Chains A and B, each alone.
Chain A
Amino acid sequence: MATLVQAVRLALHYGETHLGVTDIFGEDVGPPLGGVFTATQGLKTAWNSPLDERGIIGMAMGIAYAGGRPVAEFQFCDYSFNTIDLLKVAGNQRWAGAGHYKLPLVLMTPSGSGIRGSLYHSHSFESWASRLAGWKVVMPSTALDAYGLMLSAIADPNPVLVLLPKALLRVRGDQLIPGEPANPDKLKEMIDAPVGDRSSWQPHWPDVEPYFIPLGQAAVVREGQDATVVSYGRTLPLCVQAADELKRQSGLRFQVLDLRSIFPYDWKAISESVRQTGRVLIVNEDTEVTNFGEHLLRRVIDEHFYELLVRPRVLLGRHVPGIGLNQVYEQNTVPQLPSIRSAMEAVATEAA
């Protein structure tokens, strides 16, 4: 079973051999490193760029204008902020230019907390990104979803941002990517570059198969009638874990949705679930002021107000200037398992 980052690598391999990817690039993306998280090891179209995020997205836009199909990387989503202007243009150039051009580019970037990244490697980005009209934004939380969403991101002819929860990059999936070997050691031998001298290393790629997860389609990860929990990224597996614990301890049954796509998002899935349960909690780790979860909450209120049994709620990161390095800061700034479990228990048991 591939880890999430191996799944990304396999998807990029499929992309460059079957889906027309012409360039995979960014800081340290090419040989010898193949990405600071190993996501781009062994890929034949991978190359290193200058240390220049505006240059990276600019190059991707130019490649796409000229008919190429680039996958660009920002080493950490925290580095995106001085490129917002270019991201805006990538999203609006088709609209501004009356449909003359399309930009089939993918921008992938690790996001979120969980690796003691302090002020520089802990940001969430999906709330900022959700405002970029003309983009599509996805965030897988499992290896198979990373594979399927990356393939769709590549195939989609619009700019697609793939946010990769860095806390989950080394988590092994529990579902095989179609075509990968069942034995994870075998996979490692085939596609992980050796530590040390890798100058003569070549990967041996398994024959992975096409598996496209549609953009805008959530996954129901746990079935239940007692309350709806919507999450994505690092907090999603914590919601699942809390759901399983609460089922064991208290018999509560949550319907847990992994949103997977931030934009377009699967409103139909959220809507149907909320209609059934009347109780909803939205969990993410981005900061709480003008958070994407608030947009979903607004729509729940607009469209299901009279069907709700208790107040709908969100559990989000705190609005503070950063996530401090000492883990006391991190534990108390973004949702962790205990607070997620409490919030889930509260929404399911509050008197209607």
Chain B
Amino acid sequence: MPKDIAAAGTNGAALLSRPQVHTGREALPAERCLEIHRIMVRTRAMEERMIKMSKSGEGYFWIGGPGEEAFNVCLGLQVKKGSGPAFDFLHLHYRNSATLVAMGMELIDGLRQMAMTRTDPHSMGRNFAGHYARHEWNVVPISSVIEIQYVMAPGTAHVQKRLGGDSITIVTGGDAGTAEGDFASCLVWSSRPGKELPVLIIVTNNGWGISTAACSQHGEKFIIDRGHAFGIPGEVVDGNDPVASWHAIRRGMEYCRTERKPFLLEALVSRLYGHSSSSGSQRVAGEKDCIALFEERLLEAGVLDPGTRDRVHTEAAEEIEAAVERIVREPRPSSADVELHTYAPSSVDAVYPGDYTGLPGAKD
């Protein structure tokens, strides 16, 4: 039985009689492709609505990952999801909406953060869009401080390695940020002899750092080449191709899960709306659209028909509309919320046994 069909984890014989979508010798079964497609479309609809909100005054600022859906959905669907070190840890960046949606996040929760509601489950209206936090899924709070996720990732991996088992730490970020020292720290700390760590070090390379082209700033041919010095293996993958991305992620995860060592995965992706709303968030010409490309292939393979494709898009739009309707009615933060969650409660603090409540001894 072909290795990739076995890896798809379903009955091989039944699968062989069903359509698949191939990239080279790799394939994904039809059901999986349709699942991926639907999540990609729903995430894109959410992101495009967020962009509208940033222009209508419903939100102030948008940043996100339209163009990275293929890779990010395949990542989210393969995470060993749960809370605590026996499950995968995710140190993500702000272009990972598709990963969260693939893990099961409702679109309304992404929109709540964009609308800065009190009901925003990630940040209570404090953080920028796409800056998720989810304790139940080991998604540590996403920060816009570039690259720091790479210097924290070895920490969760260190605990996972000591625990035993096969959980891994996944860290993602863009190509531009790899110039920061924290990326090098990640390579050093995850590859110490005899103390290697199970970190899947992902870089989604869209070729840009805001307005600065990657080719003007990077002497290395591929970012994963930096791993050679540390004995860290890696792959470069077409991040716009869900089939290729799925299997590259699977291989990288398997390596980390079994070898308990780091792996570098560089996904070449598109950036469809520029950097953020600050740079205009206009649709850019000349960038591959992973959804359009995948739909072409699915139609050609007979896995998708135009009616179904349209229905997926329509349903996504309806899901967004319903979410926005609800959000309009949801509460916003109040002045009483400003200090909430500064401190965790403490049995050894004479001034703040609970949360922070203002300066010590302050009257109001």
Contact = CB atoms under 8 A, between A and B. Distances in A.
Given A59-B155, A98-B124, A267-B359, A54 B182 contact: yes
A146 B341 CA distance: 28
Nearest to A86: B148
5 contacts: A95-B126, A97-B122, A155-B348, A265-B360, A266-B360
A151 B159 CA distance: 22
A190 B135 CA distance: 43
A59 B343 contact: no
Contacts of A152: 348-349
Interface in B81-128: 84-85, 89, 91, 120-124, 126-127
Given A61-B152, A216-B352, A89 B143 contact: yes
Interface residues of A, number: 53
State which size class the interface on B falls in. 35 or more
Interface of A: 22-23, 50, 52, 54-55, 58-68, 70, 85-86, 89, 93-102, 104, 133-134, 136, 151-152, 155-158, 212, 214-217, 264-268, 271, 299
B349 A264 contact: yes
A101 B344 CA distance: 9
Given A86-B148, A89-B148, A134 B342 contact: yes
B348 A93 contact: no
Given A156-B348, A214-B350, A215-B351, A89 B145 contact: yes
Given A58-B182, A216-B349, A264-B352, A65 B343 contact: no
Contact of B361 (A85, A100, A133, A267): A267
Looking at chain B's contact residues, is the secondary structure mostly helix, strand, loop, or mixed?
Answer: loop
Contacts of B349: 136, 152, 156, 214-216, 264
Contacts of A64: 155
Given A67-B84, A89-B143, A98-B122, A157 B188 contact: no
Contact of A58 (B126, B152, B192, B360): B152
A23 B156 CA distance: 12
B141 interface: yes
A86 B85 CA distance: 22
B360 A216 contact: yes
Contacts of A136: 343, 349
Contacts of A97: 122-123, 127, 133, 140-141, 341
Interface string B141-152: 101010010011
B10 interface: no
B134 interface: yes
B348 A100 contact: no
A94 B344 contact: yes
